Structure 1
Amino acid sequence: MTVALIDDDSAVLHSMRLLIESRELPVACYESAEAFLEDLPETKPSCVVADVRMPGMSGLELQRVLKQRNHEAPLILISGHADVSMAVEALKEGAFDFFEKPYDGERLASSVNDAVQKGRRQSSENSERIDIAERLKALSPRQREVLEFVASGMSNKQIAAKLSISPRTVETYRAWVMERIGAQNVADLVRKVSAFLPQDPKA
């Protein structure tokens, strides 16, 4: 996954490219936010570094567009005309970091590295959420019921009483559900599926 660098100043862009590539991170350079957005469907950057003031779309406007598209790669903004209110606005809107030109190269490189690690974690978590959602769709209504009760902390005997089936049948469902979701134990199951389940299990 690449680091996307966006700046209309080609000299600054080249300097940033050398800096980030020296950390053995792949880089893609763009001279406008619009060019970056055109390329976005094909590229999935793990971090975006953008100048705030550019002809056309600004870095702050790019931040809003990425947010609307639910693009979760961490965004680092850089400005030669920064003020405190601009930095506060960017950070409130979810920017990972904010630098004023001339920036400290080592600090920027360190921030990019941290952002890349965060971006990779988010990408992995998103992939897992999509995978779990697909696995849940494959469950039968009864398997889903057992899953919800297991995740709520109920024992096999309690679930059997709720569903008017034998504890052995519950155990069979439970084992199948754990395997289907890819959970190692109940705690792992709860971690994987809690975001997809109702807050209160069926009475």
Structure 2
Amino acid sequence: MNEQTMTVFIIDDDVAVLDSLTLMIEQAELNVQAFHSARAFLDYYHPGMLGCVVLDIKMPEIDGLHLQQKLIELNVPLPVIFLTGHGNIPMSVKAMKSGASDFLTKPVKRDKLMTCIESAFEECKNWHIKQTTRQHAQNLLSTLTDREMEVMKLALDGQANKQIAVELGISHRTVEIHKSRVLQKTGVDNLLELARIVADTAA
């Protein structure tokens, strides 16, 4: 993944601000999409889009703080950078407590905004990598049968083959076969690597 696959989504009801920010970000050779309202952005967004949101606070219909909460409810993984001319300390505290990446005031210096966008992109990339790893791990474990899952869990709990055999009422040889199939299906060589896959599903 590179920055060209990431997009800066600007949301501001001031057309002049949208034009200025769009030009600023395009000059940095980053992808950018501009929206005059929160509703326009929500209508445009679909799962899978990566990048960050540069968001005004005071907007008609849905303001910036309400949109931030909406994005949280929808599990939208885009870090939010607030950029407003109407900010105050209570607003900034509320925004940051809700997970905002940064809270900036207008007018903003280009270097400051670019630094915040780079940081937000990195945050989004890390989230994407984590999600991809988790999905891969879940896909691997989904190939296991119920019995293989039982054997795997007991093995990862530190139980020896004989203990597993007694607990499940199967032979020692059958346990060995199940463990071998678990390792084969998940593409690992040992229980330590298998434990990492299981841990990835909960990451």
Instruction: Pick from 68, 71, 91 the counterpart of residue 73 of structure 2.
Output: 68
Instruction: Pick from 122, 147, 155 the counterpart of residue 152 of structure 2.
Output: 147
**Is residue 22–residue 32 contact of structure 2 (8 Å, CA) maintained in 1?**
yes
Taking every aligned residue pair, what percent have the same amino acid on both sides? 38
Paired letter, 2:191: V
Task: Note closer, same or farther for the CA distance 1:194–1:45 as it changes in structure 2 (3 Å cut).
Answer: closer
**Is residue 19–residue 109 contact of structure 1 (8 Å, CA) maintained in 2?**
no
1:121 alignment counterpart: 126
Task: Note closer, same or farther for the CA distance 1:169–1:56 as it changes in structure 2 (3 Å cut).
Answer: same
Instruction: Pick from 105, 113, 124 the counterpart of residue 108 of structure 1.
Output: 113
1:37, CA displacement in angstroms? 0.2
The yes-or-no answer on 1:14 pairing with 2:19 is yes
1:172, CA displacement in angstroms? 3.3
**Is residue 47–residue 112 contact of structure 1 (8 Å, CA) maintained in 2?**
yes
Report Cα offsets for 1:75-112 as digits up to 9, x if no partner: 11111011111000001111111111122321221111
Unaligned residue ranges in structure 2 (runs of 5+): 1-5
Distance in 2 of aligned mates of 1:43 and 1:30:
18
Paired letter, 1:98: F
Report Cα offsets for 1:12-48 as digits up to 9, x if no partner: 2222223333333211111111110001126613211
Distance in 2 of aligned mates of 1:166 and 1:185:
21
1:185, CA displacement in angstroms? 4.5
**Paired residue total:** 197
Distance in 1 of aligned mates of 2:179 and 2:28:
47
Distance in 2 of aligned mates of 1:107 and 1:182:
45
The yes-or-no answer on 1:24 pairing with 2:23 is no
What is the root-mean-square deviation in Å for CA atoms of aligned residues?
Answer: 2.4
TM-score by length of 2: 0.83
Task: Note closer, same or farther for the CA distance 1:115–1:171 as it changes in structure 2 (3 Å cut).
Answer: farther
TM-score by length of 1: 0.83
Distance in 2 of aligned mates of 1:88 and 1:162:
54
1:85 alignment counterpart: 90
2:55 alignment counterpart: 50
SS in 2 for 1:125: helix
